[in-house]
Amino acid sequence: MKDITVLIDNIILSYKDNPIDLLKLGEGKNEYQYLQDLKYSYIRTVKDISSLLPKGAKVLEIGSLFGVVSIALKQSGFDVTGTEIPEFYASENLQKLYQKHGITFDQVNLRDYKLPYPDESFDAVVMCEVLEHLNFNPLPVLQEINRVLKKDGYLYIAMPNQASLDNRLKLLTGKSVHSPIQYYSDQLDAKKNFIVSIHWREYTMTETLDMITKMGFLLQKKYYFSENGPRTRTLFSLFRFLLYLFPPLRSSLVVIAKKDRKSNLNFRFTKSST
């Protein structure tokens, strides 16, 4: 198997000359930068999944978007299925990308609270930088994930840490930890690729564990991390580095859990709650 860091680097580099441009808005350059910004999260995700499962295991990536994680897992020997929202799934370039790599690619809107797969279909479900983008109650989504996971299957979540140092400093200086209000306008602007770009709700580690426990999962591993790319040598960066020695202040978190029991909570859905 190729070194995972090199593998991810090469996959991301391929988008520089062959952009997807999801909504045909000339956003290829910005999409490439987005992938570069998330590179270290992708690397950690693929490394973690590769250490958990044997080759050939069936992995579902929810919100697979440009396919970096899915492609890396496929090339690492896993049987991968990716999903994306209807607006992005409609991209011919995106569909061709998944076809090229032999990855099943399905249209899924999580707001419908239904995954188009039979019970106990997958060995692992990956949500890498996805949960924070949901602007609706995530518990029914987690219950659906529980349903499609095999017994002892893994749920993998990687996302920003709401209790990070940066967020704490923002609060101390009277700033909001949430996405800028301008993003609301951007999301509704037909000339911008901003459909799911807003972080509607970030979570702390404690909140994340509370949610997955309610939905029938048993924690296997948890940790905090920060991007380990190049850093500028400034006094503030040194200060941040020293504080990051205390893990809960780091920028991101990972939770790995096993399906411990079936989750069959009888949710009440109304037009106001969905």
Of 54, 68, 37, the closest CA to residue 1 belongs to: 54
Residues 6+ apart with CB under 8 A from 132: 159, 160, 199, 200, 201, 202, 203
Per-residue model confidence as pLDDT tens digits over 26-38: 999 999 999 999 9
pLDDT at 2: 61
Sheet of 79-84, strand order: 104-107, 79-84, 58-61, 122-128, 149-160, 252-259, 217-225
pLDDT at 240: 67
Domain chopping of the chain, boundaries: 4-161+200-233+253-259
Q: How far apart are CA 61 and CA 219, in angstroms?
A: 19
Domain 4-161+200-233+253-259 has CATH 3.50.50.60: no
Overall average pLDDT of the 132-154 stretch? 97
Q: How high does pLDDT run on average in the chain?
A: 93
Q: How far apart are CA 141 and CA 134, in angstroms?
A: 10
At residue 115, the 3 state secondary structure works out as: coil
pLDDT at 272: 80
Q: Alpha carbon of 158 to those of 13, 63, 171, 221: distances in Å?
A: 22, 12, 23, 12
Q: Which two tokens stand for residue 189?
A: 């602007």
- List alpha helices for 101-204, DSSP H: 139-148, 165-172, 182-187
pLDDT at 233 over 60: no
Spell out a b/e string for 129-168, using b for 16 or more CB atoms within 10 Å of the CB, else e: bbbbbbeeebbbbbbbbbbbbeeebbbbbbbbbbbbbebe
Instruction: For residue 227, name the pLDDT band (cuts at 50, 70, 90).
Output: confident
Per-residue model confidence as pLDDT tens digits over 53-87: 999 999 999 999 999 999 999 999 999 999 999 99
